[in-house]
A and B are shown apart, each in its own frame.
Chain A
Amino acid sequence: MFCEKAMELVRELHRAPEGQLPAFNEDGLRQVLEEMKALYEQNQSDVCLQMEWFNHYKKSLATYMRSLGGDEGLDITQDMKPPKSLYIEVRCIKDYGEFEVDDGTSVLLKKNSQVFLVLRYFKSYEC
């Protein structure tokens, strides 16, 4: 694997006097090309396995996400780390008016106002 044969070819060239090419080492070159082919094929087979695994994973993840939270499903790849605090600070881009949260309290959402809300009321694409 460590290209010993290839290194021999390089050393041969390195040893040659300035500006001269040593005679074409057909044998050595063929061995090196075979080694390269073998490594490449081994690599290909590993890659195939990985691709299969990845497709399987992709499908499982998509199915799971679709089955969560309501009709559209929940994108769980958005926040990879758990939130540090219970509340999230929100700035409104547009006037929305009154927004009623689950426990009955309502919040007035005006443009550019900032408000703290409990984290679970947000999916990232709604803000």
Chain B
Amino acid sequence: MSEAYFRVESGALGPEENFLSLDDILMSHEKLPVRTETPMPRLGAFFLERSGGAETDHAIPQGSKLELPLWLTKGLFDNKRRILSVELPKIYQQGWRTVFSADANVVDLHKLGPHFYGFGSQLLHFDNPENADISQCLLQTFIGRFRRIMDSSQNAYNEDTSALVARLDEMERGLFQTGQKGLNDFQCWEKGQASQITASSLVQNYKKRKLTDMDD
């Protein structure tokens, strides 16, 4: 019942994402709309549809609108806004915020961007005037949805949970899985399996792979 393998957890809900966390790497790769505030010589080679072409040295002119991954935007952003200015993606703007406040439970957060909470939290780094509203929205949305997640994770034993997790974002899914694990561990204990020695899941998987190799 103890952990066979510890993954590096996401730090996205805190001040900074974790460098070694796979979840954070995937989250940080999501793009957001930015506007260049200064011309960028030679970087147009990476954005062939936007740059001036070979004669102008592939420069990206000032004021271009681009979509950059979060990790790149964070690296280039600075308080005096010399290089980039960041626009909020639609789902964090006023319109969607009203939808979330109306009823947070019906929204498909997985479709809106599988890392809604993590990405939204890291978005607060860009000194947007709406930051207070965004953080309130993230918090209230989570509060609205939490009850259902907790209930469903604690009461779905040994069944197919795909319908329950379909509309949850990655963070909520992690929470659901933790709940499921707690439930399974408890059931295990109740059956008296807690004091029995069982093969570790890692070893079981390894054995399975070996079998298929032999079959080939």
Contact = CB atoms under 8 A, between A and B. Distances in A.
Contact of B4 (A14, A19, A42, A46): A19
Given A1-B46, A46-B42, A18 B26 contact: no
Contact of A10 (B4, B22, B201, B202): B22
B22 A2 contact: no
Contacts, number: 31
A19 B201 CA distance: 9
Contacts of B42: 42, 46
A69 interface: no
Interface in B142-195: none
B5 A10 contact: no
Contacts of B46: 1-2
Contacts of A46: 42
Interface residues of B, number: 14
A2 B69 CA distance: 8
A20 B26 contact: no
A20 B22 contact: no
B205 A20 contact: yes
B5 A19 contact: yes
Interface in A8-41: 10-11, 13-14, 17-20
A13 B23 CA distance: 11
B83 interface: no
Given A18-B4, A19-B5, A10 B25 contact: yes
A20 B210 CA distance: 13
A11 B69 contact: no
B26 A14 contact: yes
B202 A19 contact: yes
Contacts of A17: 205
B29 interface: yes
